[in-house]
A and B are shown apart, each in its own frame.
Chain A
């Protein structure tokens, strides 16, 4: 790890426009510094900023960027009204990491692409213009949607997939004032030459995530995550689904995929196709197929497309069955049983 200066920002004003890397929980930044991928000269510690509350906001919730992942997952409002968000969070990392990881840090966490993590490999994301080391390499974890030859990495967050399904908005403050971006579009897709422009401009900071009123989606929402082991592993593919069902007919549907693209992937076509249809196996099967429309392998990962369809189907079926009173012992697991579990 290179040497750096350390300063603590006591106020939001001190953090905005500050030069250096922002340190929140440190569970991603310190990791990247240890392997020489992040080499900041200066750390701005924002972990004590007073952005650590979950508040009511216009029928929905506003989550401060410093709220720990574990705290969101056990918040009674989140469990009652946004259960797919709690399930997504509980399916990610470990209890220790969730106690340290913050909302803002989770959104901003870097890809787990192994070529990105190896400073000796070319990587357009780490070093613009150097090429993409992953192309033609070990690509089973890489993107099948929205990729270019500039970058085929996926965003690793589980939380962001559920947030995108709930139409969450990212609140950003910078030297130029406030701006807001839909979670769904916050992470840029790659362009022909590389990873695309960064999501934040220098000096900007995420202050909150806003969740609109879930309305009738509240109790038919689930997250399902396929991994190489049942717990403490990143997604191969994952899906967040939320449904509003009236007399057996779907009045509103939300579906987002994780592990398939550089951002959480909202499946608008599938959502449209579900609207007005009976909450039936046939409706869900058709939607799951539409969910991956446009998918193509970026290497040795053609299997991801059918896997994503199956996980989307499972998430829709579980959402239709109703969110259980208590989240299952193995959150988001495919082994949690096909009933309500």
Chain B
């Protein structure tokens, strides 16, 4: 019997017939759904390139067995922008040169979105660096990444406060 996997990906419910239980969430996103924004670096939890949000929490999709996450809500880098308007984290990565080759970038951005939602690092650059340490960048764009995350944190918390006082 071919099990059916139900996932809501970037707000869209998807039914995926899985003929092989070995598929990771990363494989499903890239190979079955053509969502190649999420990258495969090490495939072993060591680099963070495959970071997505699973039910709002950042995780490594390469070590997530797809079947184990049946029913989950997944957010990938493709789901951040609203039409042509970039997500504040995406915009901040461009503004601060938070990348060079770009390979680690989708994972960095998803990890930053998760970090800002966790709300524990705030505007302390050391806490941001520590909080982003699960994402390696072989181009070593770390300085720009930290600046981008700090800037996006300001932007997102300001937006939140505005909405709260409105």
Contact = CB atoms under 8 A, between A and B. Distances in A.
Contact of A27 (B43, B60, B126): B60
B30 interface: no
B126 A26 contact: no
A248 B20 CA distance: 63
Given A1-B22, A26-B64, A45-B67, A94 B48 contact: yes
A3 B20 contact: yes
A99 B67 contact: no
B115 A95 contact: yes
Interface in A1-53: 1, 3-6, 8, 23, 25-27, 30-31, 34-35, 43, 45, 47
Interface in A75-106: 93-97, 99-100
A283 interface: no
Interface string B129-159: 1110111000000000000000000000000
Interface in B82-136: 111, 114-115, 118, 120, 124, 126-127, 129-131, 133-135
B76 interface: no
Interface stretch (B6-14, B31-39, B51-59): B51-59
Contacts of B20: 3
B48 A96 contact: yes
B127 A329 contact: yes
Given A23-B68, A95-B114, A30 B24 contact: yes
Interface string A135-175: 00000000000000000000000000000000000000000
A330 interface: yes
A339 B150 CA distance: 27
A50 B53 CA distance: 22
A93 B59 CA distance: 12
Given A94-B48, A96-B58, A4 B22 contact: yes
Contacts of B131: 95
Given A27-B63, A232-B134, A329-B130, A99 B58 contact: yes
Contacts, number: 91
B41 interface: no
Contacts of B126: 329-330
A231 interface: yes
A23 B67 CA distance: 11
Contact of A6 (B21, B51, B129, B130): B21
Contacts of B67: 6, 8, 45
B160 interface: no
B21 A4 contact: yes
A231 B121 CA distance: 15
A79 to B, nearest CB: 11
Contacts of A70: 57
Given A4-B21, A6-B21, A231 B60 contact: no
Nearest to B69: A47
B134 A26 contact: no
A329 to B, nearest CB: 4
Nearest to B118: A95
A47 B134 contact: no
Chain B CB within 10 A, most for which of A1, A45, A70, A329? A329
Interface of A: 1, 3-6, 8, 23, 25-27, 30-31, 34-35, 43, 45, 47, 70, 74, 93-97, 99-100, 230-232, 329-331
Given A1-B22, A43-B65, 19 more contacts: A5-B21, A6-B3, A6-B67, A8-B68, A31-B63, A43-B21, A45-B65, A94-B133, A94-B135, A95-B133, A96-B51, A96-B58, A96-B111, A97-B134, A100-B60, A100-B64, A232-B134, A329-B126, A329-B130
8 contacts: A3-B20, A4-B21, A23-B68, A27-B63, A94-B133, A94-B135, A100-B60, A329-B127
